[in-house]
Copies of this chain bind each other. A is one copy, B any other.
Amino acid sequence: MVGEFDFIARHFRPLAGEGAMELRNDGATMSLPEGEELVLSSDTMVEGLHFLPDDPARTVAQKLLRCNLSDLAAMGSSPRHYMLNVSVPVGRHYDEAWFAEFAAGLAEDQERFGITLLGGDTTGSPSPLMLNVTILGAVRRGETLRRDGGRPGDGVWVTGTLGRAALGLQVRLGKIDASPDGILVQSYRIPSPRVGLSLYGIVSAAMDISDGLVQDCGHIAEESGTAITLFEEALPLSAEVKAYLPDWRETILLGGDDYELLLTCPVEQEEALQTHCRAHAVPVTKIGKVTEGQGVTMLDKNHEPIRFTRTGWQHF
């Protein structure tokens, strides 16, 4: 028939799993085991804003899935399926070869994370390339992690390390020199969502860091009706990130795209948190505390509040 249908058949039909009816219908179906509820999240990536036009198609695909997988991880949900919406600019370099690589990247991560394509929509459009995923996961009913459970006295914790992806973007923009091992750019291009942890009953609030540590702490503080104090000295920074201090301090402290989990945890659950994360080989570090009040403060090594020129990623 016409272009859309061939295009979908070539690139996306091989990715379709149970319930997708081979992408041959108006939609798709999905069942849930008894006692579970559905968790949904959606993220759009726009060329030039969330990825660069010359990023490899394979990593663009994987970043798209992983940003969404990270949202599920933040809600304590196991990923199952995703809907994919693609708006393809006509007459650009997003050609057959590009989409074959894009589909290969999706296929790799489907395998890695145990998910399948369920359905979606493909349309032509003027530039830029726009990619959207709505991801679907499952969780035991009532066991979804939320942002609003932080209580004064809780510790603030973060998985992994911070700042690599933000520096990686600066490398891509030609503003700083690349690290020889390419780890910064790779962190920018392919996040590692923290799926697979089971933190319900341990942590009091959770979200993933996409817009930057301070701004995302602000969300937990606001939704929880509390303040958050962070300690710069406590932040987990890897050696290749520390190498860019002090010049790129603000980029490192505020930069987004980490896709690590930001958690608040009652003191009596700290040991359980550390034990659980160790069992899953996920580093976790205490970086601050929840207090009465509002807003987010980061204290430097002299316990002076740091004044930033901005808070984090601006969407508009």
Contact = CB atoms under 8 A, between A and B. Distances in A.
Contact of A314 (B3, B43, B127, B218): B3
Given A2-B316, A31-B38, A134-B83, A121 B24 contact: no
A238 interface: no
Contacts of A32: 32, 37-38
A114 interface: no
A215 B1 contact: yes
A119 B41 contact: yes
A121 B132 contact: yes
Interface string A182-198: 00000000000000000
Number of copies: 2
Given A122-B315, A315-B2, A30 B40 contact: yes
A254 interface: no
Interface in A36-64: 37-44, 46, 48-50
A314 B40 CA distance: 31
A49 B128 contact: no
Q: Which secondary structure characterizes the binding site on chain A?
A: mixed
A83 B40 contact: yes
Nearest to A146: B25
A2 B254 CA distance: 14
A44 B121 CA distance: 7
Nearest to A50: B123
B208 A26 contact: yes
Contacts of A218: 1
A283 interface: no
Contacts of A139: 29
A46 B125 CA distance: 7
A151 interface: no
Nearest to A125: B46
Contacts of A25: 75, 144, 146-147, 207, 223
Given A29-B38, A38-B31, A139-B29, A121 B49 contact: no
A173 to B, nearest CB: 18
Given A32-B38, A44-B85, A87-B130, 14 more contacts: A1-B311, A3-B314, A4-B315, A26-B147, A27-B40, A27-B77, A28-B40, A29-B40, A29-B139, A30-B37, A46-B87, A50-B123, A83-B134, A85-B85
10 contacts: A21-B146, A25-B207, A25-B223, A26-B41, A29-B40, A40-B136, A42-B119, A46-B126, A85-B132, A124-B316
